[in-house]
A and B are shown apart, each in its own frame.
Chain A
Amino acid sequence: MTGLSNMTERKNLWPWLLLTPLAVFLVVFFVVPLIDVAVMSFTEPRLTFANYERALTGTLYQKVFINTFLTAGFVTLCCLLVGYPLAYLMSVSSQRTAMLILLLVTMSFWTSFLVRTYAWMVLLGTNGPLVWLFQAVGITNPPQLLFTRFSSTLAMVHILAPYMIMNIYSVMRKIDPVLVRSAESLGARGGSLLRHVYLPLTAPGIANGCVLVFVICLGFYVTPVLLGSPREQMIAGLIGTQLDEFLAFGMGSALAMVLLVFTMVILTIYHRHFGLDKLWG
């Protein structure tokens, strides 16, 4: 009897033994730095709520928050508008074509954010191909493309679209073609086919893609900083400036906490409905 209870006890100890090194590591090198941010937001430069007061009521900060949300929403919408037709094209193409497109999308996905941001810089630059194309068509005075809201939005859509495409394609290719054909035989055409067959069946993929793109975009640092207009910053860029230029750890931390809370609220809602492990899986 005692032997048996000993064994079950040992069995129960095993998982904890295996888990402890990682748990300790994550506490020391993930949780504590995060708590440090929370603490700094109240204590830098001294014990105060002033950082949050400024972060939430200052006109500059409010403008940046609103700009960030609008940009993230717009980028998500664009990714959907770009991703859906491509996923559709893949699902109706021959297997070979679908594979090639998928290869292209995966290639883009695995190419670093920096490389893709740089590529847009090359494409839109003053001596770049697009300006050259403008001049070839006869537009001698092309508009400024680089370092505007346009260039950063375009690049963000390009960088985040693969997330959307892969999510939608993964559900779209599971749609039974018989279902589509029977809908067509019952008279569903074009728009109604899309609305009544495709959209409902791909809704989970759309939800996944949108949440993922929106959340990544909210905290996007690299592309808006490199390609955007300095006058239209997003939150992450503003946090960076607080650290880099002003060494204002308190203000930077308060902004970081606000960004963290927004992100967590969205992810919590997602988790309630779908389970967070599905988002990246």
Chain B
Amino acid sequence: MTRFMKWLGVVVVIFIAAPLVIVVPMSFSTARSLQFPPPGYGLGYYQAYFSDPSWLIPTWNSIIIATATTVLTMLLVVPATFALVRHQFRGRSIADLMMLMPLAVPSIVMAVGYYSYFGAMGIVHTHIGVVLAHTALAVPIAFLVLSANLKGFDRTLERAAMSLGASPTKTFIHVTLPILRPGLIISALFAFIHSFDETVVSIFISGRNAETLPRKMFDSIRQEADPVIAVISTLLFALVLLGLVGPRLVAALRNRRPRVQAA
């Protein structure tokens, strides 16, 4: 039984890996449309992606929208998280729960709401509309990451700074923020990724003017399955890999340096 489970586990590894692996060679194919095995290898699709405004504009839109979403989300979430983690007040547990609600409501339900509501406000199919919607949806994620960090924060450090004569503001800038920095960075990164990946709401409210990359990909997959999507998939995939392995690699290199000096 346990040996059977192990073998099943190996099969699952292949199942998880196969779709991720297959896209990469396809993106270097020279075939007109998707075809396996590729008749030859080249950079044709990459050239097509990097020279086609109908792909580059949505990419740029997504970067702008995700950046604005990240800034807005952090401006709203950081103070609120301090309030919710560090203060006792009536209604706190309800407030805590409310922060998670945007994650609990299915995206398609919000898409219906934003489509009509932003339509009435005149901001449907605009960058601002998408940023506002994405911010609402990114709040719970940024909050979860940040509150976990803040709960593990050792407050004696702040008390020590203040007992040595630092003002609350000084303590915040010189003690609290530096210690919290990794949490803040990860929280912001999650907000960025959430906006950059968000598909369902964008499909309905970004329109032609503020078209995001996921919306463009969705439309393209639905209509003609442009092989350029294999390129974007490979690039996104490389970004994820870089994001996951990158920090570990940097840490490993950093750890190695003193050893080299010692030798």
Contacts and interface: CB of A to CB of B under 8 A. Distances in A.
B82 A18 contact: yes
A128 interface: yes
Contacts of B203: 221, 240
B140 A29 contact: no
Interface stretch (A53-61, A103-111, A202-210): A103-111
Interface string B46-89: 00000000000000000000000000000111011011101101
Given A25-B136, A112-B197, A122 B100 contact: no
Given A33-B110, A89-B9, A114-B217, A129 B199 contact: no
Contact of A119 (B23, B97, B132, B245): B23
Interface string B216-231: 0110011001000110
A260 B22 contact: no
Interface in A21-39: 21-23, 25-26, 29-30, 32-34, 36-37
A64 interface: no
Contacts, number: 262
A222 B229 CA distance: 15
Interface residues of B, number: 91
Given A12-B89, A29-B133, A36-B117, A110 B244 contact: yes
Given A101-B13, A114-B214, A281-B148, A236 B244 contact: no
A215 B76 CA distance: 27
Nearest to A218: B106
Contact of B233 (A85, A119, A162): A119
Given A19-B83, A112-B197, A129-B36, A118 B229 contact: yes
A118 B22 CA distance: 11
The B interface is mostly helix, strand or loop, or mixed, namely helix
B102 A30 contact: yes
Given A110-B240, A276-B104, A86 B9 contact: yes
A120 B105 CA distance: 27
Contacts of A113: 197, 199
B34 A22 contact: no
Interface string B99-125: 111111111111111111110000000
Nearest to B110: A33
Contacts of B15: 82, 158
The A interface is mostly helix, strand or loop, or mixed, namely helix
B6 A110 contact: no
A262 B252 CA distance: 47
A235 B243 CA distance: 34
Contact of B80 (A19, A110, A121, A162): A19
A118 to B, nearest CB: 5
A16 interface: yes
A121 B225 contact: yes
Interface in A117-133: 117-123, 125, 127-129, 131-132
Q: Closest 8 CB pairs between A and B?
A: A219-B106, A89-B9, A190-B1, A33-B113, A119-B19, A85-B8, A18-B83, A15-B87
Interface of A: 11-12, 14-19, 21-23, 25-26, 29-30, 32-34, 36-37, 40, 82-86, 88-90, 92, 101, 103-108, 110-123, 125, 127-129, 131-132, 158, 161-162, 189-191, 193-194, 215, 218-219, 221-222, 225-226, 235-236, 239-240, 243, 249, 252-253, 256-257, 259-260, 263-264, 267, 271, 276-277, 280-281
21 contacts: A17-B83, A18-B79, A19-B83, A22-B80, A25-B136, A33-B110, A88-B6, A89-B5, A92-B6, A103-B245, A110-B243, A118-B221, A118-B225, A118-B229, A221-B203, A222-B199, A240-B204, A243-B115, A260-B106, A267-B104, A276-B104
